[in-house]
Amino acid sequence: MLYIDLHCHSRYSDGLMAPADLIRRAAANGARALALTDHDETGGLAEARAAAAELGVAFIPGVEISVTWRNHTLHIVALRFDPDNPALQRGLAAIRDGRVERAQRMAAELDRQGIEGSLAGAQAHVSNPRMIGRAHFARFLVERGHAKDVKSVFKKYLAEGKPGYVAHQWASLSDALEWVSASGGVAVIAHPGRLNVDDKTLCELFTEFKELGGSAIEVVTGSHMTQQYGQFAEYARRFGLAASVGSDFHGPLESMRDVGVLPELPAGCVPVWRDWTEVQTAGTSSPQSPPAG
């Protein structure tokens, strides 16, 4: 197993746990290195970093940026950037503002389905007033008995093509990659296996991503089926991209994989953390061991 997790969510976006609790859970699972990657939001990084330092877990700043590429929503995980970078923060703030406007249109659609009060209902599940998403609507709809769990509510109402879904224009891929490089980070295509596109389109995406300075694709993720690990390892190899791993953990009952520990990358992958010294050295010195001398 790998005790590295470069994709998970806290209450600063649509996760269920506070950043410090998330880090404690990851550490208890054996994590050596962790990136918190809230959607379009870096507000939880300081708390996570402090908790990680206390527990001797290497901490990597992260964020999952919502992008529109052609007509598809694409998630770009940015890692190891400077969270104080103004260009990055301006970009993320604009995406979050778009989320507020989208939430109003989602609520209007749900109204037409006879489901009233969903905006206020979703807001009651929001813990960071700067960030609202479909997961908050999903939790409201489950609470009202419209489906048995979050997964089913997406299938019935919130997934693309369903009655509560509204199209939305996120950031462009080139803008997102510009913010990542301006802030000194690396860009990873999150869970490419969830993109509903053919092989030719995927190849065009990987080519364009690489040309724009992108570094890696997520190969092992809680959002891929096990059979997809090999498939995306092969894409990574073909396009000269590194490979990343992440649980995409949101909370104990809402996620495929727990936070902090993941299966190994398939043979031949170049890990995105290959040159990251803080990850290389993590776990070789225990925070519990007495100071030397």
> Which residues are near ligand AMP by CB under 6 A?
14, 39, 66, 133-135, 150-151, 154, 159, 250
For the CB of residue 176, give the shortest distance to ligand AMP in the complex, in Å.
14
Size of the site for Mn ion (CB under 5 A): 5
149 and 142 Cβ atoms separated by less than 8 Å: yes
- Cα–Cα distance measured from residue 287 to residue 70, given in angstroms and rounded to the nearest whole number: 47
- Angle formed by the axes of helices 173-182 and 199-211, to 10°? 40
For the CB of residue 205, give the shortest distance to ligand AMP in the complex, in Å.
18
Partner whose binding site includes residue 151, from Mn ion, ligand AMP, none (CB under 5 to 8 Å by kind): ligand AMP
User: Which of 57, 74 has the CB closer to ligand AMP?
Assistant: 74
Q: Tell me: does residue 218 bind Mn ion (CB under 5 A).
A: no
For the CB of residue 285, give the shortest distance to Mn ion in the complex, in Å.
30
Partner whose binding site includes residue 258, from ligand AMP, Mn ion, none (CB under 5 to 8 Å by kind): none
- What secondary structure letter does DSSP report for 234? H
Partner whose binding site includes residue 187, from ligand AMP, Mn ion, none (CB under 5 to 8 Å by kind): none
For residue 105, give every residue at least 6 positions away whose Cβ sits within 8 Å of its Cβ, in sequence order, or none.
166
- Cα–Cα distance measured from residue 245 to residue 232, given in angstroms and rounded to the nearest whole number: 12
For residue 152, give every residue at least 6 positions away whose Cβ sits within 8 Å of its Cβ, in sequence order, or none.
none
Q: Which range of residues in 60-68, 174-182, 226-234, 237-245 is near Mn ion by CB under 5 A?
A: 60-68
Burial class (CB in 10 A: 0-12, 13-18, 19+), 27: buried
Partner whose binding site includes residue 150, from Mn ion, ligand AMP, none (CB under 5 to 8 Å by kind): ligand AMP
Q: Which range of residues in 43-51, 81-89, 171-179, 244-252 is near Mn ion by CB under 5 A?
A: 244-252
5 and 245 Cβ atoms separated by less than 8 Å: yes
Distances (CA, A) of 85 to 91, 97, 251: 10, 18, 29
- Cα–Cα distance measured from residue 211 to residue 206, given in angstroms and rounded to the nearest whole number: 9
Q: Tell me: does residue 14 bind Mn ion (CB under 5 A).
A: yes
Which residues share a beta bridge with 67? Answer: 74, 171
For the CB of residue 74, give the shortest distance to ligand AMP in the complex, in Å.
11
User: Which of 248, 258 has the CB closer to Mn ion?
Assistant: 248
Distances (CA, A) of 64 to 117, 176, 177, 233, 272: 28, 10, 12, 21, 16
Out of 11, 25, 32, 75, name the contact with Mn ion by CB under 5 A: 75
Residue nearest to ligand AMP (CB): 133
Out of 41, 218, 248, 258, name the contact with Mn ion by CB under 5 A: 248
For the CB of residue 14, give the shortest distance to ligand AMP in the complex, in Å.
5
Q: Among residues 262, 193, 201, 196, which one has the least CA distance to residue 234?
A: 193
Q: Tell me: does residue 99 bind Mn ion (CB under 5 A).
A: no
User: Which of 15, 271 has the CB closer to ligand AMP?
Assistant: 15
Residues that bind Mn ion (CB under 5 A): 14, 64, 75, 190, 248
